[in-house]
Amino acid sequence: MTVTAVVGAQWGDEGKGRIIDYLAQEADVVIRFQGGDNAGHTVINEYGKHALHLIPSGIFNPRTQNIIGSGCVVNPQSLLNEMESLKAAGVDLGNLWVSTRAQMLMPYHRELDVLEEAARGKDTIGTTKRGIGPAYADKAARAGLRMGDLLQPEWLETRLDNALRTVNRKIEILGGQPLNGEELYALCMEYREKLGDRIIDTLPMTRRAIEQKKHILLEGQLGVMRDLDWGIYPYVTSSNPTASYAASGAGLPARTIDRVIGVVKAYSTAVGDGPFPTELHDADGEKLREIGGEFGATTGRPRRCGWFDGVAIGYAAWLNGMTGLAITKLDVLDSFEIIKICIGYKLPDGAIVTDSMPDTPVLMHVTPVYEVWDGWLTPTSDCRHWDDLPKEARAYLHRISELAGIKIDYVSVGPERDQMFAV
CA 68 to chain centre: 13
Which residues are the active-site residues? 13, 41
- Bridge-based pairing state of the strands 103-104 and 145-146: antiparallel
Q: Is the dihedral of CA 319, 320, 321, 325 positive or negative?
A: negative
CA 289 to chain centre: 19
**What burial class does residue 265 get, using C-beta atoms within 10 Å of its C-beta: 0-12 exposed, 13-18 middle, 19+ buried?**
buried
Is residue 381 a contact partner of residue 419, using CB atoms and an 8 Å limit?
Answer: yes
**Rounded distance between C-alpha atoms, residue 332 and residue 225, angstroms:** 22
Q: What pairs with residue 304 in β-bridges?
A: 270
How many Cα neighbours within 13 Å face the side chain of 229?
Answer: 9
- Bridge-based pairing state of the strands 352-353 and 338-346: antiparallel
First to last CA, the chain: 21
CA 390 to chain centre: 31
